């Protein structure tokens, strides 16, 4: 869900006030991620390991062995690599399009 807030103004020290409602909902700790010309705040869990375990169980990842997870990760990495190099010929030199 996207929740737009009114304009936020940084004070002279660069601080922005988010408001108590957002702090109650998302916590007090965030990563700020610059994406193009936008800044995205990503909440940081109070206990990241507990949150990671919860997300893992919710996704069903605990139903796989380490060997199966490695195989799936390798297959995904190979597919991603092939998507990134499609249209390029290695024998004609780097960066040469077909």
Residue with the bigger pLDDT between 86 and 90: it is: 86
Q: What is the residue range of 3's domain?
A: 1-44
| Count of structural domains within the chain | 2
CA atoms in the 13 A half-sphere facing the CB of 69: 9
Note whether 2 and 32 are same-domain residues: yes
* Pair 61, 69: CB distance under 8 Å: yes
Question: 8 φ, ψ to 5°?
Answer: -110, 135
The predicted-structure confidence for 48-83, as pLDDT tens digits, reads as follows 899 888 888 899 888 999 999 999 999 999 998 888
Note whether 14 and 2 are same-domain residues: yes
Note whether 6 and 35 are same-domain residues: yes
The predicted-structure confidence for 33-51, as pLDDT tens digits, reads as follows 999 898 888 999 888 899 8
DSSP symbol at 42: E
- On whether residue 98 sits in a domain, the answer given is no
Note whether 39 and 56 are same-domain residues: no
């Amino acid at each position: 869900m996207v929740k737009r807030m009114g304009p936020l103004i940084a004070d002279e020290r660069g601080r922005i006030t988010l408001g108590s409602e957002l702090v109650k909902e998302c916590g007090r700790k965030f990563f700020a991620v610059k994406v193009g010309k936008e800044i995205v705040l990503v909440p940081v869990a109070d206990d990241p390991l507990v949150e990671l375990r919860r997300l893992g169980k919710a996704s069903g990842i605990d139903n796989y062995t380490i060997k199966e997870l490695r195989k799936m990760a390798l297959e995904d990495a190979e597919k991603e690599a092939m998507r990134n190099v499609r249209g390029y010929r290695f024998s004609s030199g780097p960066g040469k399009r077909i």
